[in-house]
Amino acid sequence: MGYNTWNSFGCDINEKVILDTTRLMKTHGLLDAGYDHINLDDCYSEKQRNPSGDIIANEERFPSGMNWLTDQIHGLGFKAGIYSDSGWFTCQLYPGSYMNEDRDVKLFQNWGFDLLKYDNCAVPFDEVIKEGMIGKYTRIANAISKLSKSSGKPPILLSLCQWGRVQPWLWARKLGQSWRTTNDIYPAWDSLTNIMNRNSFIASATDFYGHNDLDILEVGNGDLTYDESKAHFTVWALMKSPLLIGTDLSKVTEQTLSILKNNEIIAINQDPVIGTSITPFRWGVNPDWTYNRTHPAQYWSGESQNGTVFMLLNTLDHPADMFFRLTESPWIRAGRQYSVRDLWTHTDNGTAVRNFTASAVPAHGVVALLLKDAGDEPAGTMPPCSSLEWCMAENGTRIDNIGFNP
- List pLDDT tens digits, range 295-319: 999 999 999 999 999 999 999 999 9
d(CA 33, CA 219): 16
Give the pLDDT confidence score for residue 293 in this predicted structure.
96
Q: Give residue 406's pLDDT band: very low, low, confident or very high (50, 70, 90).
A: very low
SS3 10: coil
Q: Is the pLDDT of residue 404 over 70?
A: no
| Residue-wise burial string across 91-111, b where 16 or more C-beta atoms lie within 10 A, e elsewhere | bbebbbbbebbbbbbbbbbeb
For residue 210, the one-letter residue type is G
SS3 67: helix
> Is the CB of residue 240 less than 8 Å from the CB of residue 269?
yes
Q: Is the pLDDT of residue 164 over 70?
A: no
d(CA 221, CA 230): 12
Tell me the per-residue pLDDT of 22-39, one tens digit each, with 9 for 90 and over.
Answer: 999 999 999 999 999 999
For residue 72, the one-letter residue type is Q
> Is the CB of residue 374 less than 8 Å from the CB of residue 336?
yes
Query: Which strand ranges, in their side-by-side order, compose the sheet holding 2-4?
Result: 211-213, 178-180, 157-160, 115-119, 79-85, 37-39, 2-4, 244-245
d(CA 98, CA 129): 9
Tell me the per-residue pLDDT of 69-113, one tens digit each, with 9 for 90 and over.
Answer: 999 999 999 999 999 999 999 999 999 999 999 999 999 999 999
Name the active-site residue from 114, 119, 213, 215.
119
> Is the CB of residue 43 less than 8 Å from the CB of residue 91?
no
> Is the CB of residue 181 less than 8 Å from the CB of residue 148?
no
Alpha helices in 152-280 (DSSP H): 189-200, 226-238, 254-260, 263-269
Give the pLDDT confidence score for residue 351 in this predicted structure.
97
Q: How many CA atoms lie within 13 A of 189 on its CB side?
A: 19
Q: Is 36 designated active site?
A: no
| Residue-wise burial string across 133-169, b where 16 or more C-beta atoms lie within 10 A, e elsewhere | bbebbbbbbebbeebeeeeeeebbbbbbbbbbeeebb
- Strands 37-39 and 2-4, bridge-based pairing: parallel
d(CA 212, CA 161): 11
> Is the CB of residue 161 less than 8 Å from the CB of residue 120?
yes
Name the active-site residue from 71, 184, 248, 400.
184
pLDDT (average), residues 340-344:
98
Q: What are phi and psi of 276, to 5 degrees?
A: -85, 160
Give the pLDDT confidence score for residue 140 in this predicted structure.
97
Q: Is 184 designated active site?
A: yes
Angle at 358 between CA 223 and CA 262, to 5 degrees: 55
The pTM is what? 0.95
Peptide bond preceding 383 in cis form (omega within 30 of 0): yes
d(CA 62, CA 22): 15
Q: Enumerate helices (H) and strands (E) in the chain, giving the number of each.
A: 10, 16
Tell me the per-residue pLDDT of 207-227, one tens digit each, with 9 for 90 and over.
Answer: 999 999 999 999 999 999 999
SS3 399: helix
d(CA 3, CA 21): 9
Angle at 302 between CA 297 and CA 174, to 5 degrees: 95
